[in-house]
Structure 1
């Protein structure tokens, strides 16, 4: 019986190649997770936030005068809740102590948690939210340098304000220097009251929770959180009411500027693509 053998391919014919898997984008395979999320940018801004004391004025008299100017402006507008709210926090420990823990903890903890939640579960919204936070913080740093302002707790004693965190420092991990951990008070900028990034970051958190959370409780907390932080920072004598208003304004301006930067980046990319085509 005759056996048939397969004929060899003609000389010069291309050899059949096995199918290969589509290449994986570097951003999804080799790039580490912290670069995929650009966390290094956040760390850089955080370092600038805490290091702004190197650029800010050390002139206590000037900073106190700016604080007094804010109080005078509020009184002219019949809006000056700082003193009576501060007295309520110093008189009633059931108000003051929780406010101290909130001031010393939530500013970084909640902001970091919301940022991680967006990166982990709402990836499509993460980049814009991150950039919004970066731009807002940068604007706040510019305000600290341009208008150094002593908080109410650092005004002359005749103003009548009491540092609530210093009052309860024995039961917390913070020092008397604005809610920072004990031993690190010298590493903070004491004249960074205007604008209030505590309120600005809280508003950022609240709006994003309201926009992207599917949980009704979280959405409600998102609405309440900025208002609660505003009460905390004013009652503990760390900010003026106008600081809170400025914090809201800076956050809104940061949102607008983030969109503008994104559109500008898209336009530049399109122009470059057109030049190379």
Structure 2
């Protein structure tokens, strides 16, 4: 298989990411709808006894040694680790790059569909009566972000505050983890691959940026994206493959076995022919 061209890949990734970012801004949704969806998720988790966000958020708020690194991780790792693994695959595992890239892109676009259909208020933006603390606002003096998600100070208006369902922080981390586990060659690389998505899930809940069900939805989106990417790649490969009957039709005709001419055929100048009895009368006696 021909190795992808780096400039074509960079352009493709840039276009998809621009569409994703622009789409997030265009589908912000109204506040009341987003808050309603957030509260519905929270009530469902409380009914099931799986509202892990509350204890994690209290822990991260009360222990700055956990909360501050978690804020840095939430604000930066998905921008650093995901592209780094794409580059690593492109350079070191080119045979697997195309499938991995397609899986990531399809899943990202599916996440945008989720933001459109289900704008969701994250825990940190709910009324204080629900018991959540926005750790990124609480510890904003330690980082470049302000009180509006992970955006740089003063640029919070450039983000969609209600793009919580599904959590692509968790989805992208899962993709990174699978790549490291499958294609890493050392036990340390595989251990990092297993730990990274789990740590990310804890971080997004502890910082009150996502509910547990957001994380579950992020995993589900990646699963669906993997299936759709496989179908898409098979369809594209099928269109580019020549059918056997077409190959036979296009093959040039073989004249005289490719190197011989039959009696009576006009010989190609300089072509040797197989001697016959007519050519050597003595051999026929």
Please give the range of the TM-score, normalised by the shorter of the 2 chains.
Answer: 0.7 to 0.9
Instruction: Establish whether residue 203 from structure 1 lines up as the match of residue 174 from structure 2.
Output: yes
Equivalent residue number for residue 193 of structure 2: 222
Supply the distance in 2 between the matched residues of 1:48 and 1:126 (Cα, whole angstroms): 21
Supply the distance in 2 between the matched residues of 1:193 and 1:274 (Cα, whole angstroms): 51
| Kept after mapping to 2: 8 A contact 1:173/1:181 | yes
Equivalent residue number for residue 230 of structure 2: 259
1:149, distance to aligned residue in structure 2 (A) = 0.4
- 1:47-58 to structure 2, matched below 5 A, reads 47-58=18-29
Instruction: Establish whether residue 109 from structure 1 lines up as the match of residue 80 from structure 2.
Output: yes
Supply the distance in 1 between the matched residues of 2:88 and 2:159 (Cα, whole angstroms): 28
Unaligned runs of 5+ in 2: 250-285
State the structure with more CA Rg.
2
Equivalent residue number for residue 33 of structure 1: 6
| Kept after mapping to 2: 8 A contact 1:111/1:201 | yes
| Kept after mapping to 1: 8 A contact 2:25/2:158 | no
Please identify, of 177-186 and 188-197, the stretch whose mean Cα deviation from structure 2 is larger: 177-186
* Aligned alpha-carbon RMSD (Å): 1.9
Equivalent residue number for residue 95 of structure 2: 124
Equivalent residue number for residue 178 of structure 1: 149
Equivalent residue number for residue 250 of structure 1: 221
Q: Which runs of 4+ in 1 moved over 3 A?
A: 270-277
Instruction: Establish whether residue 143 from structure 1 lines up as the match of residue 114 from structure 2.
Output: yes
Q: Normalising by the residue count of structure 1, what TM-score does the alignment of the two structures yield?
A: 0.85
Residue by residue over 1:3-58, the C-alpha shift from the partner in whole angstroms, topping out at 9 and shown as x without a partner, is xxxxxxxxxxxxxxxxxxxxxx9x77xx96322xx121211221122222333143
- DSSP-derived class of the 2:210 partner: coil
Residue by residue over 1:90-125, the C-alpha shift from the partner in whole angstroms, topping out at 9 and shown as x without a partner, is 111011001011101101100011111001111111
